[in-house]
Structure formats: structure tokens, C-alpha cells
Structure 1
Amino acid sequence: MKAWMVAAVISAVCYGINNILLKLTNGRISDALGAVCIQTFSLAVIVGYFLLIKMRGEAVNWSYQGIAISMSSGIMMGFGLVLLLTAFKFGGPVSGVIPVLLSGQIVLAALAGFLLFREGLSAIKAIGILCCFLGIWLSSR
């Protein structure tokens, strides 16, 4: 298995466990405080990773554009987290909310790959995107 695939699978497991834990917070902590706790501990992990890279002597490349894009991504992550917690607060089932969330991410990533990054869009990928739309519709029932 390729290294990127191993990292992607482990990431999927981490995000899957994260989504289950988010649902478990429902009714046990306010959305705002829960989001602060989540992002604080997420920051701690990321700072630890950053320090590890620095201690290894690896280069930390950056540009103003890279910083701006990263900050924009953080803003989207924050809004996404707050809205995900809100969906659970409004009674959304984990079996409905998470498939909609992930299918939406798949569709956006696939379209961005094709439109922004000039990655190929094969017929099978197009069918996959359509299946995601169908999945979103079915999960919302």
C-alpha cells in the first residue's frame, strides 16, 4: 500500500472516531465550549507535531499566501465544527449527519480536483460524484 494511502486510511479512522465523539458530546457540553475544547486539544497535537519537525531539523517552508490559505482553512474548519455540533444539537442522527457531511466533502473535493487542480475526471469518478449526491439525498430522508 502506498504511503499516502496508509496516511489517508489512518486519517479516516481518526476523523470517524472524532465524529462519534462529537455526537457523544451532545447535551453534555455547550456547543461553544465543546468547540473551544476540541480546537484547543487539536492545536496541542498540531503544535507537538510542529515541534517534532523542528527538533528533527526539517525545513518549515512557508509563504504569505500559504499562511493566508491556511488561515482560511482554519476559519472553514471552525464554522464546519460549530455547524456539525449544531446539527447534532437539533437532533440529527450520527447515521444521517455524518454521511451527508462526508458525501458533501467528497463532492467538493472531486469538483475542486477537476476544476481547480486540473485532475482528470473519468466516467467512473463522475458516477461516484453522482452517487454521493444520491447518498446525500437518501441520508436526509
Structure 2
Amino acid sequence: MNWLLLAVITALCLGLYNFFIKLASGNIHQVAGAVLLQLVAAAVGGFLLLYIKATRQPVSISQTGVLYSCLAGLSVGIAEILTFYVFTKGAPASVGTPIIVGGSVAVAAVLGWLVLREQITLGQVLGVGLIVAGVVLLARGH
């Protein structure tokens, strides 16, 4: 499976993730919801890792990989809690989700360019600019 198809499937899963957080918000404490979400995610990953080990597929782990995985976990843990708060405060899914996701895409693109020195084309700059413009337009109405 190529990376583009995997990215589309990932986008679908992240869309469902944000939609279900919106549905849960107001029905569970924000931190409890985020912890439950993370426990379920850890269980899914844990079962997949056990399967990979059981089928004797290699699993590489380095100190650098562990460090960045922990930093990503810290970031997503805070983001999940804040997402619950955003929706508990009444943000519509049709506005809150695009602001959160669009903003995160813009941040990742800029960090890739500035920190990782990734090449960026004019089309990519325009794409990120359109995302930022969309986030601004969505935020202005609320």
C-alpha cells in the first residue's frame, strides 16, 4: 500500500476521531474522556505490537525514536484534553475540527520546512496559505 492511500485512510480515521470527541464532549469530563481515549488507543497499538512480535517481524527501537514518540505522546495528550474542552465549550464540529486540524497541518508544514529543512514548493506554500486563510475565516465567524 502506498503512502498516499495510507494518508487518506489516516485522514478518515482522524476525522472519525474528532467527530467522536465532539459526540462525547459534555457527556464525560474532559480529562476522563481523553484518558479513556488514550487507553483504548494504547490497547489497539499494544495488540498490534503483540501480533507483530508473534509473527516474528522485526521491531526496531532507538533512543531517538523513544524520545520523539514520548514528545508526540505528550503533545497529543494535551491536544486531546484541549479538544474535549473546545467542544464542551460549544464549538460546532464543522468549525472546531477544521480549525484544530488545519492549524495542526500548518504547524507541521512550517516545522518541516524550518526545522527539518524540507524542500517546499510554491504550490505547497499556497496550500498552507489557503489552510491558514480557511482557519482564519472559520474563526472569524465565532
Distance in 1, matches of 2:26 and 2:109, equals 35
Gap regions ≥5 residues in structure 2: none
Amino acid paired to 1:31: Q
CA distance in 2, matches of 1:117, 1:27: 39
- Where in structure 1 are there 5+ consecutive unaligned residues? none
Question: Where do 4+ consecutive residues of structure 1 move more than 6 Å?
Answer: none
Taking the aligned partners of 1:49 and 1:116, their CA distance within structure 2 comes to: 32
Aligned residues: 140
Could you say which structure has the greater relative contact order, defined with CA pairs below 8 angstroms and 6 or more residues apart?
2
Task: Write out aligned runs for 1:9-28 (5 A).
Answer: 9-28=8-27
Identical amino acids, percent of aligned pairs: 31
The RMSD of aligned alpha carbons is 1.2
Amino acid at match of 1:115: L
Alignment correspondent of 2:104: 105
Partner of 1:32: 31
Q: Which amino acid aligns with 2:120?
A: L
Task: Tell me the CA shift for residue 117 of structure 1.
Answer: 2.6
Residues in 1 aligned to 2:90 and 2:28: alpha-carbon distance in whole angstroms:
15
Correspondence 1:46-125 to 2 at 5 A: 46-125=45-124
Kindly provide the amino acid, as one letter, of the partner of residue 90 in structure 2.
Answer: G
Mean Cα deviation higher: 49-58 or 116-125: 116-125
Return the alpha-carbon distance in structure 1 between the equivalents of residues 110 and 26 of structure 2.
Answer: 36
Q: Kindly state the Cα deviation for residue 128 of structure 1 after the two structures are TM-superposed.
A: 0.9
